[in-house]
Structure 1
Amino acid sequence: MTVHNNPNLYRSFDDLINGENVPTLLNEKGNFLKKNGDKDTWKIISLNLFQCFLRRIFGFYRDTHQNNVAKKLHESLYSELIFDKKSTSVRKIVAVAKIIKDLSPPTEDVDVSKEMQSIPTQEIVKNGDESKLEDTIKFLAKNRSTLEKLKDVGLLFTLKSKDKKLFKVRISDRKITLLTNKFLGEGGFKTVKTAYDYSQGTPLARAIITPKGFFENRSAKKELKFLKKVQERSNCVRLHSYHKVKHPKRKIHILMDLAEGDLYQLTTQNFLTMKQKLQITRQLLEALADLTLNNIWHRDIKPRNILYRYQPDDDTYKIMVADFGLAASEGDLIAKKLSGGTRGYMPPEYHKVWKLSNGPIGDVYSLGVTLSELFGRNPSSPGFITHLITKMKDSNHRTRITAVDAFDEYTDGLKLYLEALKRRQSRDLKPLSRC
């Protein structure tokens, strides 16, 4: 049997994380041969995937890439490690392994009742996974100090329990995130599931983008680019964090605000009051004017791409414009080309003039169609809203109202509408005061 006798170069995984200096050899099959104490015999140690990775890094099979990225820890450890990149340095991996060996499973003596009360369980987990969430919170609470050390390593990775009784825990240098995985929706090459920011106590939506070709990859990068741009913009979905995974498939994970639904659901359910509709309209016009002033063209505005969260304190809806996969800016090469979009919401010039791109004036038309669906054919709708929607849906793009002018006209019209409403209410109250 051929033996690679170089104890300084090849050491077992146990030696690495425990810092022991036990001579270790490597046989021709790649298994470790570890000396049994003072005896002249050698103990064969089978390699798991993580040990195979270390063996290759330390010089054995140097001509191969670091392709064992699902680096599983030693059998005695409670959790497994899943790294994002093939090029993760061994020094950082070993640093993580030395810390992670102190992790222990959750026990019943850990009281997390107060934490569970503040977590919106129904929003982030599916039915039947409530106990799984509680066990995961117990695991995090019991290992709080160890997890803080892991955050300081500066390495992106995921913890996964071997018994699959806990949710995956995402560790980064800034936060700890639970991947609760309640399915929210999918479309094209994107799947949306839930997550929970344990560090901030915030429910999140996790968009998992799996580009399968050149155009999907370009669209994914573009959406991420514009999500970063709109962070300071009003009434746009907020990007919390993102990370790219290169193994086994190239994916982009984007963590955003978690919404309760979209405008299409609110419109079809038909229970909004006129006050709520006007508040939603103001937020949408303000968002579009803000995007236009900052040279951002959405190019796919429709009820399905407008998310909301209900705010019970003042009985209003917080609106968030989302899905910037088709967005562009003036000067971009892609801005000169047809953007696609959704039939029924695209402006008429998009079909009539081949070289005319669906730009900011096209967003105004799309929002006009969206607002007409929001108010419907309600005879009680304010006259200034009907007049404004007509201007926004002007078939001639040259005479169509701009986003900034639409917002100003709405503000002036709302002021006059409220003054007229007050005068009408005062007239109705005068006869009552005489009684």
Structure 2
Amino acid sequence: MSTTRLLIPTRAAQQPDWAPHWGELDTVLGELTERPPLVTAGTAAALRDELAFVARGTAFVLQAGECAELFEDSAPDRVRAKATLLHGLADVFESLTKLPVVRIGRFAGQFAKPRSSPWETLPDGTVLPVYRGDAVNSVEATEVARRPDPRRLLRAYDCAGSALAELAGSDDPRGAGDVRAALAPTYVSHEALLLEYEHALTRPDAAGGRYASSAHFLWIGERTRQLDHAHVELAASISNPIGVKLGPDASPADVAALLDRLNPEERPGRLTFVVRMGAEKLPKRLPALLSALGPRAAHATWITDPMHGNTRQTAARQKTRVLDDVLAEVEGFFAAMSAHGLPPGGLHLETAPDDVTECVTHEGQLHSPIPLPRYETACDPRLNPEQAEQVVRLAAELTARPAAPSHTRHE
């Protein structure tokens, strides 16, 4: 029987309550430790090398895909659709800037989500455990469906493997990291939220350390980046390139400590900060943070997530984002980075390959009592392809624009 569960420190936020299924969880984790890696250490290292070019300002990251990925999204046609959107957006950026784009899908493993509350209240007043992603429970709004089920971790592995095989044009997920042919180059990423799952899938790397074989790139969310908690401990223990989300309350001391803990060798491409402060707060918070960090800010790659700090609600009580807010945060991010002599490294977007209407264009549309018609997300609202292209085109325009003179250059 696996003892993986026993290796997880007690200080860990946003973990499912697997009770009373601890024995079943141990069995599942034991099986995962014996399964082949989903990606290879070599391709995770290759992504780290590509991100080093981003850190130097000679490449750009586009990370895009699902908010909360459903298991059914691993079907071949869905994988192709999401990857085609990612590559199409990257091609637009490259054509406008002549800058190479590192393409990272927010899919093939984004099966778990942190939540602001452990409970959800339905319109009829029924209170249920919140949906935490298909790797934990079901989006179906019933008591039974919302119970955490450890067997879903095995299905998460299988679905990620199927998606990777489709991306690689191979039936063998073990080769997916190396054979990237059909839609190459496509790296994959997800939030490293479920600690038992991630620990069970760590494998030895060529340098004598360990790497997370669940994806090429893992990130830690705003709700789980506590310095003394288990998610930062996991990130520090693996050799993959890693990201950390930074919200408006991120302090210079916290960010400096994350640099010390996660990139002590100051290696370009190892650590990416994903800024998600909101269009209103970013113009003040990010410049202050960069100024306080000084030259140390250059020891990480910086990209913008203009989605998560801009969540609003319509009069019909649907979560949404206003495209004008998203665009404003992108512009503020580019301005702050350029003013401090640092390269604006990329975009982190939640997107759908379908013509959904989950995000509105202007603030005035929030006041309509009519529900948004094509609202298909399992969790947070996503940009449709046309909206995503608007964001990418703005980023390309800002990239091509001459940088303003700065007295704070970091070499």
**TM-score, reference length from structure 2:** 0.25
Larger radius of gyration: 1
> Which of the pair has the greater relative contact order for Cα pairs under 8 Å at 6+ separation?
2
